[in-house]
C-alpha cells in the first residue's frame, strides 16, 4: 500500500471504506458533500474498496481543491509530480503544492522542499529547500526534520553542523522515522560531533532494525562481528547479515 499522504486522507480509515456504499457516496459528492468527495478521492487513488482509478481520484480532488482544501491541492500536486492519471508536469505540481503550502500545509511544504533540494523538475535551490523544510519541520513533519538533519550533516547548501543535524534527527526519530533513527546510530557509531558511543549507536540501530531497515540490520551485524559495544558474537552477526541481505542490503550479502 502506498504511503498515506496529506491529512484528510488520514481521517479516511480503510475499514470505513470497505463498508462504503459507492453510489450513496457519489450522490453525496455530487451534492457538494466534501467528506464524500474526500473519501471517493482517497478510495480511487489508493484502490481501496474500488478499482484504482487516478482519473476519478483527480476529479474528486479537483472538486475539493477548487474549494480551497489544502490536502486535495497537495494530492493533485503529488499526481502531477508522479504522472498519475495525468501527464507528468512538475510545474503544475509545484503550483498545487504552493497553494497548499500557503495554507500552512506541512506535507506540501515538505514536498516543495524536496523538489528544490533534489531539483525535481525545477532548478535545484538548497536555500529554498531549507526554507520549506523549516516551515514543515516547525509543524513536526518528520520527513522535513530528517531532511534538515541531512542538510546540516552533509553541509548541503549550508554550513555543516553535526549538532544541529543531531537535533533534527532526534525530532524525527522520536516520531518513529526510521531513517532518522539509523542516522543517529551512524552519528554515535562514528562519533560525528558527539563522543563515540557504541551503546547508543546500538540502541538507535535496533530501533531502525526493528522496523525492517536493512542498513541498520547490517550495522548491527558489523557490531556483533567486531565486538563493538557488545560481546563479540559471530552467530548473531550472521543472523543480522542474513536478515539485512534479505531486505536488500548488498553489503550484508557479501559478509
The DSSP output letter for 4 is P
Phi, psi of 172 (to 5 degrees): -70, -40
Q: Which three cell numbers stand for residue 33?
A: 458533500
- Between CA 238 and CA 94 the distance in angstroms is 46
pLDDT of residue 6: 58
- Between CA 206 and CA 18 the distance in angstroms is 35
Give the CA diameter of the chain: 67
Grouping H, G, I as helix, E, B as strand and the rest as coil, residue 254 is coil
pTM listed for this prediction: 0.89
Helix then strand then coil, % of the chain, to nearest 5:
70, 0, 30
End-to-end CA distance of the chain: 32
Q: Which three cell numbers stand for residue 32?
A: 457538494
CA proximity to 117, closest of 82, 84, 154, 83: 154
Rounded to the nearest 10°, the torsion over CA 33, 38, 44, 46 is: -160
In angstroms, what CA-CA distances link 150 with 122, 157, 219, 229?
A: 21, 11, 19, 26
User: What is the DSSP annotation of 70-104?
Assistant: HHHHHHHHHHHHHTSSS---HHHHHHHHHHHHTTT
Instruction: Find out whether 39 and 64 touch, Cβ atoms under 8 Å.
Output: no
List, in order of start, the domains of the chain with CATH numbers: 1-103 (1.25.40.10)
Grouping H, G, I as helix, E, B as strand and the rest as coil, residue 110 is helix
pLDDT of residue 129: 98
Phi, psi of 69 (to 5 degrees): -75, 115
Residue-by-residue pLDDT tens, the chain, 255 positions: 345 455 545 445 444 555 568 888 899 999 999 999 998 999 999 998 899 999 999 999 999 999 999 999 999 999 999 999 999 999 999 999 999 999 999 999 999 999 999 999 999 999 999 999 999 999 999 999 999 999 999 999 999 999 999 999 999 999 999 999 999 999 999 999 999 999 999 999 999 999 999 999 999 999 999 999 999 999 999 999 999 999 999 999 998
CA proximity to 235, closest of 224, 245, 246, 220: 224
- Between CA 165 and CA 187 the distance in angstroms is 9
Displacement of CA 236 from its chain's centroid (Å): 31
pLDDT of residue 11: 47
Instruction: Find out whether 113 and 144 touch, Cβ atoms under 8 Å.
Output: yes
Instruction: Find out whether 217 and 210 touch, Cβ atoms under 8 Å.
Output: no
pLDDT of residue 123: 96
Amino acid at each position: 500500500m502506498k504511503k498515506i499522504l496529506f491529512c484528510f486522507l488520514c481521517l479516511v480509515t480503510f475499514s470505513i471504506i470497505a463498508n462504503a456504499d459507492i453510489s450513496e457516496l457519489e450522490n453525496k459528492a455530487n451534492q457538494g458533500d466534501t467528506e464524500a468527495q474526500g473519501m471517493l478521492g482517497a478510495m480511487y487513488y489508493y484502490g481501496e474498496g474500488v478499482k484504482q482509478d487516478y482519473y476519478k481520484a483527480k476529479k474528486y480532488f479537483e472538486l475539493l481543491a477548487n474549494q480551497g482544501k489544502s490536502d486535495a491541492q497537495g494530492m493533485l500536486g503529488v499526481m502531477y509530480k508522479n504522472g498519475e492519471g495525468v501527464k507528468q508536469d512538475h510545474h503544475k505540481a509545484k503550483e498545487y503544492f504552493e497553494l497548499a503550502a500557503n495554507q500552512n500545509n506541512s506535507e506540501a511544504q515538505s514536498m516543495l522542499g524536496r523538489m528544490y533540494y533534489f531539483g525535481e523538475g525545477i532548478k535545484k535551490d538548497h536555500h529554498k529547500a531549507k526554507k520549506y523544510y523549516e516551515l514543515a519541520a516547525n509543524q513536526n513533519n518528520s520527513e522535513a526534520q530528517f531532511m534538515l538533519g541531512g542538510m546540516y550533516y552533509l553541509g548541503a547548501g549550508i554550513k555543516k553542523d553535526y549538532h544541529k543535524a543531531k537535533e533534527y534527527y532526534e525530532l524525527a526519530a522520536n516520531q518513529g522515522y526510521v531513517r532518522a533513527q539509523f542516522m543517529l546510530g551512524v552519528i554515535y557509531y562514528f562519533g560525528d560531533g558527539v563522543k563515540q558511543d557504541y551503546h547508543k549507536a546500538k540502541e538507535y540501530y535496533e530501533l531502525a532494525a526493528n522496523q525492517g531497515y536493512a542498513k541498520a540490520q547490517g550495522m548491527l551485524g558489523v557490531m556483533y562481528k567486531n565486538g563493538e559495544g557488545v560481546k563479540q558474537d559471530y552467530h548473531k552477526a550472521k543472523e543480522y547479515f542474513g536478515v539485512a541481505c534479505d531486505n536488500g542490503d548488498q553489503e550484508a550479502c557479501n559478509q
